[in-house]
Amino acid sequence: MAGDVLSDLLRTVRLNGAVFFRVAAGSPWVAEQPPQASVLPRIFPGAERLIAYHAVTEGRCYGGLVGEASVELEAGEIVVFPHGDAHVMSSAPGMRGAPIKADAFATAAAGPLPYPVHYGDGAVSTRLVCGFLACDARPFNPLLESLPRLIKAGVKSDRGGALDTLIRAAVAESEIRHAGAEGVLTKLSELMLIEVVRRHLAELPDGQAGWLAGLRDPAVGKALSLLHAEPARDWAIEDLARSVGQSRSVLAERFTALVGMPPLQYLARWRMQLAAEALASGNATMARVAADIGYESEAAFSRAFKKIVGMPPSAWRRKAQPAA
């Protein structure tokens, strides 16, 4: 059941743009990526978030957030920056360089992808496939918000595993550059992101709070599954607690401690995410959208949507449809 909830959230991470680089580097080298506020307006106007990843396909290097300790990466490993933070990739830990100008991303986005880049003056010792993906998970995606600023995944023992296979496929697409390579790389990036999130979930330490920790908790995870399975149901906290075998007070306290909000507030926000998806598609009437998520009238739905999202559903539809 938890996997179904995770799938629900992953479906709402809508990748709506991508720029890819084939990187060849010779020591010493350093590449400092600027924060998403500098990059998004130039290459993905209107996008909400930039997700960056760097998959090492040959050699080794280091990657880390600006101003923080870096992690070592070997061939077959990947580092993901889910929040578009400024970060550094380099041949040695602790290196800094001038941030790459947003114009360079715009130039790459305008040309055939993946875009080739060479760093350093030495003989090539490290190769990477780097992706910068724009996504829009508004108005509510607790999965993205619960992810850390840096995730490292992939190990030598994973040869032939899912992540290793995806990285190898990305390498093949970036080198051969068949027609449609950009679209294939976007899909591969999405699958890599899913696999990285799944591994992160499996490796979460005990005692950690957050939506992913709630998903793994027996009672809270079951409550999340029930809310996602029947979002239009007129849930009462007593019904939900009974269904998961907890008292009302214990479930409410545990759910709030892990997820960050009470169960019915979570349900209200998840309903608005479902409504936003339906409105963006343009295939359903306002009355149909309202009924599908449990509202008896358009007026009640419109009031709730505006309160939670900050704009009327009609305005969201007009805003979202061109992007869709």
Token pair of 207 as six digits: 């005692």
* CB-based contacts of 216, cutoff 8 Å, min separation 6: 2, 201, 204
Going from the C-alpha of 11 to that of each of 46, 132, 270, the distances in angstroms are: 20, 19, 13
- For residue 238, the model assigns a pLDDT of 96
Between the alpha carbon of residue 209 and those of residues 257, 283, 304, 319, the distances in Å are 7, 38, 28, 34
Average pLDDT over residues 166-174: 83
**Structure confidence at residue 155 (pLDDT):** 67
146 pLDDT higher than 70: yes
- CATH class, domain 212-323, is mainly alpha
**Sequence-ordered list of residues with C-beta below 8 angstroms from that of 193, at least 6 positions apart, any chain:** 13, 51, 53, 80, 133
- What is the share, in percent, of the chain residues with pLDDT greater than 90? 54
pLDDT at 1: 45
Q: Is the pLDDT assigned to residue 176 strictly greater than 80? A: no
Chain centroid, CA 242 distance in Å: 33
> Per residue in 147-160, pLDDT tens?
999 999 986 556 66
**In the predicted structure, residue 49 carries a pLDDT above the cut 80:** yes
Ordered alpha helix ranges (H), 64-207: 102-110, 142-146, 162-176, 181-202
Q: Any idea where the domains of the chain sit in the sequence?
A: 13-202, 212-323
pLDDT at 54 over 80: yes
Q: Residue 48: which pLDDT band, with cuts at 50, 70 and 90?
A: confident
Distance from C-alpha of 234 to C-alpha of 305, rounded to nearest angstrom: 17
Check: CB of residue 44 under 8 Å from CB of residue 16.
Answer: yes
Look up tokens 């963006």; give the residue: 280
**Please, is 89 exposed, middle or buried when counting C-beta atoms within 10 Å of its C-beta (0-12, 13-18, 19+)?**
buried
Strands 87-90 and 30-33: antiparallel
Superfamily the domain 13-202 falls into: Jelly Rolls (2.60.120.10)
Two tokens at 211?
Answer: 């939506």
Q: Supply the pLDDT for residue 225.
A: 94
Q: List the single range of 63-67, 175-179, 256-260 with lowest mean pLDDT.
A: 175-179
Could you say which DSSP state residue 153 is in? E
pLDDT of 289 strictly over 50:
yes
Amino acid of residue 77: E
pLDDT in tens, 3-41: 578 888 877 777 777 888 999 999 999 999 999 998 888
Q: Which of 19-28, 38-47, 70-79, 229-238 comes out lowest in average pLDDT?
A: 38-47
Least confident of 2-11, 91-100, 217-226: 2-11
